[in-house]
A and B are shown apart, each in its own frame.
Chain A
Amino acid sequence: KNQVEQSPQSLIILEGKNCTLQCNYTVSPFSNLRWYKQDTGRGPVSLTIMTFSENTKSNGRYTATLDADTKQSSLHITASQLSDSASYICVVSDRGGYSTLTFGKGTMLLVSP
């Protein structure tokens, strides 16, 4: 069964600090991995999307890494801002004819002043 596990479940950091969120997956055959940011009560917004051959991808202060051998990904947030407070969801797509998405449960990040 395809699964995506995220850690930590929640995280509190001070404004301006960096943090790293983790994602482990067992999805086969693997197609791509994406990180979404979801504000409370809002739809998810895509941050990065990586395929098998990509090791790292950046989007502003967000940098995602992917190790397809160990099936792990991380999302690093640099110089956090209060507006970064949200749930960060790791989503993995398989490579079937009709691809489906497997969602992680998300990491709830709170950036405090």
Chain B
Amino acid sequence: DTEVTQTPKHLVMGMTNKKSLKCEQHMGHRAMYWYKQKAKKPPELMFVYSYEKLSINESVPSRFSPECPNSSLLNLHLHALQPEDSALYLCASSQDRAGGWSYNEQFFGPGTRLTVL
């Protein structure tokens, strides 16, 4: 299985809602990432988990809360979002973040298209 899956594919939520995005991989990768991508822009790194521990938080607002319950799953909990948070949210995984280059090739999921009303 060489796939990263994300659910849901599309999500529409109000500014007062609480929702979660889910990401799953079964490649044995120990690093997982969340990216945010606005239209016609490159992905922007949000969070990195390495061995189920948060290792990088790129100054993301607290209304985004990541969680890594186990080595295969990565969640992104959303609360009190703003319309400008509407974007494509991409999950990625890699074998590890440290070590040689061959260990950090990132495999991306298909993304969740989020719309905040």
A interface with B by C-beta (< 8 Å): 31-32, 34, 36, 41-46, 49, 51, 89, 93, 95, 97-101, 103-106, 108
A95 vs B98: C-alpha distance when bound (angstroms): 10
Closest-CB distance, A30 to chain B (whole angstroms) = 10
Q: Which residues of the partner chain A approach B115 to less than 8 Å between Cβ atoms?
A: none
* Chain A residues whose C-beta falls within 8 Å of the C-beta of B108 in the assembled complex: 36, 43-45
Q: List 24 A-B contacts (CB under 8 A).
A: A34-B105, A41-B88, A42-B110, A43-B4, A43-B92, A43-B108, A43-B110, A43-B111, A44-B43, A45-B108, A46-B107, A49-B105, A95-B101, A98-B50, A98-B55, A98-B56, A99-B101, A99-B104, A101-B45, A101-B106, A103-B43, A105-B40, A105-B41, A106-B42
Task: Encode B32-67 as 1/0 by CB contact (under 8 A) with A.
Answer: 000000001111010000100001100000000000
Q: Distance (Å) between the CB of B22 and the closest chain A CB?
A: 14
Q: Is the CB of A98 within 8 A of B90?
A: no
A-B CB pair tally, cutoff 8 Å: 51
Cα of A105 to Cα of B113 in the assembled complex, Å? 19
Known: A42-B110, A98-B55, A105-B42. A32 touches B101 (CB 8 A): yes
- For the complex, is B97 an interface residue (Cβ under 8 Å from A)? yes
Set of chain A residues within 8 Å of B50, measured between Cβ atoms: 98
Cα-based distance from A32 to B104 in the complex (angstroms) = 10
Taking the nearest CB of chain A, how far is it from the CB of B42, in angstroms?
A: 4
Closest to A102 in B: B42
| Complex interface residues of chain B between 1 and 44 (CB less than 8 A to chain A) | 4, 6, 40-43
Residues of B with C-beta under 8 A to A98: 50, 55-56, 97-98
Contact B90 A43 (CB under 8 A): yes
Q: In the complex, which residues of chain B have a beta carbon less than 8 angstroms from the beta carbon of A93?
A: 101, 104
CA distance A41 to B89 in the complex (A): 10
Closest to A45 in B: B108
